[in-house]
Amino acid sequence: AVREFAPDGLDAVLITANSDGLEAVLKAIRKSGRAAYPNGVAPEPKARAGVHLEAYDGRAEPELFERLNRLIEMGPFTVHVAAKYPLGEAAEAHRAVERHHLGKVALAVQSR
């Protein structure tokens, strides 16, 4: 399913647990792709050469959520979209990102 979605590999992965499928996920990351996982995942994930793997400390502390909520409430804030593609042009959107596209790229999905 991953190869169908991203034939050239995934750009980035957020790992939340180590399981039997993790090795396959790590293999699905394209060369120069990135993966992040919380400290404490055991055994520690191992990425192949060319994939940047980084551990982080996830803290679910009430103070951090309160700070995030205050920032959201200060809004409004804007997400700048540099390019928008119809869903049928997802492959082209992906190629644009591979060309080091700066800014957010959005896929427009038509509602029925």
Cβ atoms of residues 40 and 18 within 8 Å: no
pLDDT at 2 over 90: no
Q: Read out DSSP for 15-70?
A: -----TTHHHHHHTEEEEEEEEEETT-SSPP-PPTT-EEEEE-----HHHHHHHHH
Domains of the chain: 2-77 (3.40.50.720), 78-112 (no CATH)
**84-107 residue pLDDT tens:** 999 999 999 888 887 766 677 888
Nearest alpha-carbon partner for 6 in 107, 96, 90, 104? 90
Given this model, what pLDDT does residue 34 score? Answer: 93
Lowest mean pLDDT among 15-19, 31-35, 91-95: 15-19
The band of 112, judged by pLDDT with boundaries at 50, 70 and 90, is: low
Assign 83 to helix, strand or coil: strand
